[in-house]
């Protein structure tokens, strides 16, 4: 089971780091090399999978340190469900989402 945990941890980490790069670092790099906001082409990451794979890997990992690293890394997955919920709260749309259509 530890091998499956390591595999899920590795794939989840790669997806999470890709999402973090595409959301935060890539736009910054574009601006630093002389690009403008108008010329920036937004690229989507892979939603949900990074944090879900990391969460699934937590009970399968043999070390407490790796479990904590997986849990903390999952927070950086900008395509995760926790970022979606935080965005809905931040924009005030969570209430309308919970009430359903009118």
Q: Could you give the number of structural domains in the chain?
A: 1
pLDDT in tens, 7-20: 999 999 999 999 99
pLDDT of residue 100: 66
Cβ neighbors of 34 (< 8 A, separation 6 or more) are none
pLDDT in tens, 39-89: 999 888 898 999 999 999 999 999 999 999 999 999 999 888 888 888 888
Is this model's pTM higher than 0.75 or not? yes
- Would you say 73 and 13 are in contact if contact means Cβ atoms under 8 Å apart? yes
Domain of residue 22: give its range.
Answer: 2-99
């Amino acid at each position: 089971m530890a091998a499956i945990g390591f595999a899920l941890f590795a794939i989840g980490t790669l997806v999470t780091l890709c999402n973090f790069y595409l959301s935060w670092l890539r736009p910054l790099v574009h601006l630093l090399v002389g690009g403008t906001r108008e010329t920036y082409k937004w690229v989507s990451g892979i939603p949900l999978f990074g944090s879900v794979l990391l969460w699934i890997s937590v009970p399968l990992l043999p070390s407490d340190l790796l479990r904590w690293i997986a849990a903390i890394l999952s927070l950086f997955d900008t395509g995760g469900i926790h970022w979606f919920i935080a965005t809905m709260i931040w924009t005030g749309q969570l209430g309308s989402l919970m009430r359903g259509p009118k």
